[in-house]
Amino acid sequence: QKKRRKKWSRYPPGPASLPLVGTMLSVDFHNPHHSFGQLQKKFGNIFSLQNCWTNVVVLNGYKTVKEALVRKSEDFADRPQFPIYEHMGYGKNSEGKSHENGHSLMALARERLGIVVARYGHMWKELRRFTLTTLRNFGMGKKSLEERVVEEAGFLCSAIKSEEGKSFDIHILINNAVCNMICSIVFGDRFDYGDETFNKLSQLFQNSLNEEAGFLPQLLNVVPILLRIPGVPQRAFRAQKELMDFIDVIIDKHMKTWDPAYTRDLTDVFLKEMEKGKTAEENGFHYSNLRLVTMDLFTAGSETTSTTLRWALLYMLLHPEIQSKVQAEIDKVIGRERPPTMTDQASMPYTNAVIHEVQRYGDIAPVGLPHMTYRDTELQGFFIPKGTTIITNLSSVLKDETIWKKPNEFYPEHFLDAKGEFVKPEAFLPFSAGRRACPGEQLARMELFLFFTTLLQKFTFVLPEDQPRPREDGHFALTYSPHPYLLRALPR
Ligand code: HEM
How close is the Cα of 194 to the center of ligand 1, in Å? 28
pLDDT at residue 235, as a whole number: 60
Angle at Cα 480 formed by Cα 393 and Cα 81, nearest 5°? 55
CB 394 within 8 A of CB 365: yes
Question: Which atom belonging to ligand 1 lies closest to the Cα atom of 307?
Answer: 21
CA distances from 310 to 173, 353, 362, 365, 471 (A): 10, 17, 10, 14, 13
Q: For 49-59, how does the pLDDT look when each residue is reduced to its tens digit (9 = 90+)?
A: 887 678 899 99
pLDDT at residue 101, as a whole number: 38
Give the pLDDT band (50/70/90) at residue 2.
confident
How close is the Cα of 209 to the center of ligand 1, in Å? 14
How close is the Cα of 62 to the center of ligand 1, in Å? 19
Q: For 203-261, how does the pLDDT look when each residue is reduced to its tens digit (9 = 90+)?
A: 776 665 555 545 555 555 555 555 556 666 666 566 667 777 888 888 888 888 988 88
What lies within 8 Å, CB to CB, of 407 at 6+ separation is: 399, 400, 401
The reply to whether ligand 1 has any atom less than 6 angstroms from the CB of 443 is yes
Does the pLDDT at position 170 exceed 90?
yes
The reply to whether ligand 1 has any atom less than 6 angstroms from the CB of 439 is yes
The reply to whether ligand 1 has any atom less than 6 angstroms from the CB of 362 is no
The reply to whether ligand 1 has any atom less than 6 angstroms from the CB of 305 is yes
Does the pLDDT at position 108 exceed 80?
no
pLDDT at residue 407, as a whole number: 97
How close is the Cα of 180 to the center of ligand 1, in Å? 17
pTM of the model: 0.91
Q: Is 79 buried (19+), middle (13-18) or exposed (0-12) by CB count in 10 A?
A: buried
pLDDT at residue 200, as a whole number: 78
The reply to whether ligand 1 has any atom less than 6 angstroms from the CB of 304 is yes
CB 362 within 8 A of CB 311: yes
Give the pLDDT band (50/70/90) at residue 302.
confident
Query: Which residues make beta-bridge pairs with 46?
Result: 59
**Nearest-CA residue for atom 5 of ligand 1:** 438
What lies within 8 Å, CB to CB, of 169 at 6+ separation is: 484, 485, 486, 487
User: How does the average pLDDT of the chain come out, rounded?
Assistant: 86
The reply to whether ligand 1 has any atom less than 6 angstroms from the CB of 190 is no
Length of the chain equals 492
How close is the Cα of 462 to the center of ligand 1, in Å? 31
What lies within 8 Å, CB to CB, of 165 at 6+ separation is: 488, 489, 490, 491
The reply to whether ligand 1 has any atom less than 6 angstroms from the CB of 393 is no
How close is the Cα of 206 to the center of ligand 1, in Å? 17
Does the pLDDT at position 350 exceed 80?
yes
- Name the residue among 322, 408, 347 with its Cα closest to residue 33: 408
Tell me which amino acid residue 363 is.
D
Give the pLDDT band (50/70/90) at residue 279.
confident
54-59 vs 389-392, strand pairing mode: parallel
Q: Which percentage of the chain shows pLDDT scores above 70? A: 84
How close is the Cα of 178 to the center of ligand 1, in Å? 14
Give the pLDDT band (50/70/90) at residue 444.
very high
Q: What ipTM score was computed for the predicted complex, to two decimals?
A: 0.99
The reply to whether ligand 1 has any atom less than 6 angstroms from the CB of 365 is yes
Does the pLDDT at position 282 exceed 80?
yes
